[in-house]
Structure 1
Amino acid sequence: MSSQKSTAESVEMRAPKRERGRQRVANLLAAASKIIAERGYDAATMTAIAVEAGASIGSLYQFFPTKAALAEVLLDQYGARLGDRLNALLALQTGLTTAKMSEGLVAMMLDLTADRTAVMAILDARDAGPEAGEARRQLRARLEDGLERLLRIVRPDLKGDALVSLRLSLLYMLKAIPAMVGDAPQLATQVRDDMTRALACYISG
């Protein structure tokens, strides 16, 4: 998803080859996601990320020479996880029902809530630049494509504008889930159950 080749290449050159190194990078990325989600992209510092990960600042810079490089990997990682969850539902094919689709989509949004908060913070901080706009378009396109493919399985009767309208409605319903949980985290289970039923009814028509 990165639109800057030099950044992607610099990170790739530092990609660890051993399991210990890969785990270290995973810890650094998790720490970065947490700090950025809590403080925002601009206020998040490399020092704070290293402290959260229990790593030295030198170790952080070894794999991620700049905060921008770290942000690019977080964006790519989120896009990949989103794609994996959608593909897992698509793999069900004829075994996919509206109930399973709804349950899977709601679970996906809840599981990705923390990562999505960090991703939105990164994109909002870069909102004036073309990079953020392209990243937003790619993430939305991936989700829209997945939703349309899922709908073609469970609602093969839908065509044209009817399919587009339902896809857009589902898109915005799903995007509301993280905000709902953020406003009332103690109701996360209730939100999951309510939204799962709502989506299933809506998809079924």
Structure 2
Amino acid sequence: MASRATGGTADAQQGAKRPSQARTPQLERGRARVASLLAAGARVFAEKGYDAATMTQIAAEAGASIGSLYQFFPTKVLLAEALHGEQRVRLAGMLDKLGGDARKLSAADLADRVFAVMAEFLMLHPAYTTLVERRDVDPQRKRESRAQMENRIADLLAQTTPPLPRGRPQVIAVVIIELMKAIVTISTYEEDAMRAAAINELRVMLKTYLRAVCNAIRV
């Protein structure tokens, strides 16, 4: 048991001896335990970073035994993938809710709503970016995941009125995602007022730019 408690290296060494899939609980009690472990993982990843976080720390954060954690998530990679998948579904659901109003809005107004949704999500789920950028993800999978998010945002922007020029929604989607990275950096500022003001400034910049684009389309 001592080797498990030493941290990331021991986790990786022991991981080769464990099952290669996470366990899906069938009972409500098991699902509640998994939810608790994932929440603890999110907190530890956000605080420590993915590479520095260990399964021992996550188990302690969840108030669970290390054996219980390994029972559901045999490796840190599997836990991270489960957490990232859950968060991606949650973010996609938040964005999809904007679809019903897309045709009623200008690109500037819809992009503003997309920005607000994603900013709120990142503030509520600070581990998301850490999980997106982890180095043990296959590069092709990482590109595909990013492309899916870009396409989801671009599809929303393509429905606005007046319509954006062909290809412009995809470019704006890339810009929005890059702005999200800036929000992650800004979120490290300790002063709440400074964080809120800086994020709002980015939001105003995006909306002002897209209003100019929409006005140019009308001319």
**C-alpha distance in structure 1 between counterparts of 2:82 and 2:134, whole Å:** 16
Range moving further from structure 2, 189-198 or 24-33: 189-198
User: Cα 1:68–1:102, aligned 2, differ >3 Å: closer, same or farther?
Assistant: same
Structure 1: which 4+ aligned runs deviate by more than 4 Å?
A: none
Amino acid of the structure 2 residue aligned with 1:150: L
Q: Which has the higher contact order (CA 8 A, sep 6+)?
A: 1
**C-alpha distance in structure 2 between counterparts of 1:110 and 1:163, whole Å:** 22
**C-alpha distance in structure 1 between counterparts of 2:129 and 2:149, whole Å:** 16
Which structure's CA Rg is the greater one?
2
Deviations 1:147-167 (A, max 9, x none): 211211225432234444333
Q: Aligned match of 2:40 in 31, 43, 50? A: 31
| Cα shift at 1:142 | 2.0
**C-alpha distance in structure 2 between counterparts of 1:39 and 1:190, whole Å:** 26
Correspondences of 1:24-103 after superposition (within 5 Å): 24-97=33-106, 98-99=108-109, 101-103=111-113
Contact 1:83 1:142 in 2 (8 A): no
Contact 2:186 2:198 in 1 (8 A): yes
User: Cα 1:41–1:167, aligned 2, differ >3 Å: closer, same or farther?
Assistant: closer
Count of matched residue positions in the alignment of Structure 1 and Structure 2: 190
Match of 1:154, SS state, is coil
Match of 2:138, SS state, is helix
Amino acid of the structure 1 residue aligned with 2:25: P
Does residue 154 of structure 1 match 2:186? Answer: no
Partner of 1:203: 210
**C-alpha distance in structure 2 between counterparts of 1:149 and 1:169, whole Å:** 14
Deviations 1:5-58 (A, max 9, x none): x84xx22xx212233322221111111122122222232111110110111112
| Cα shift at 1:107 | 3.2
Partner of 2:26: 17
Match of 2:163, SS state, is coil
| Cα shift at 1:119 | 0.8
Tell me the TM-score normalised to structure 2 length: 0.74
Q: Show structure 2 runs of 5+ residues with no match.
A: 1-18, 214-219
Correspondences of 1:73-152 after superposition (within 5 Å): 73-97=82-106, 98-99=108-109, 101-113=111-123, 114-120=126-132, 123-126=133-136, 131-152=137-158
Deviations 1:84-112 (A, max 9, x none): 12211123333445335413423323323
Range moving further from structure 2, 180-189 or 135-144: 180-189
Partner of 2:174: 168
**C-alpha distance in structure 2 between counterparts of 1:167 and 1:193, whole Å:** 18
Identity %: 35
User: Cα 1:168–1:109, aligned 2, differ >3 Å: closer, same or farther?
Assistant: same
Amino acid of the structure 2 residue aligned with 1:47: T
**C-alpha distance in structure 2 between counterparts of 1:32 and 1:185, whole Å:** 26
Match of 2:187, SS state, is helix
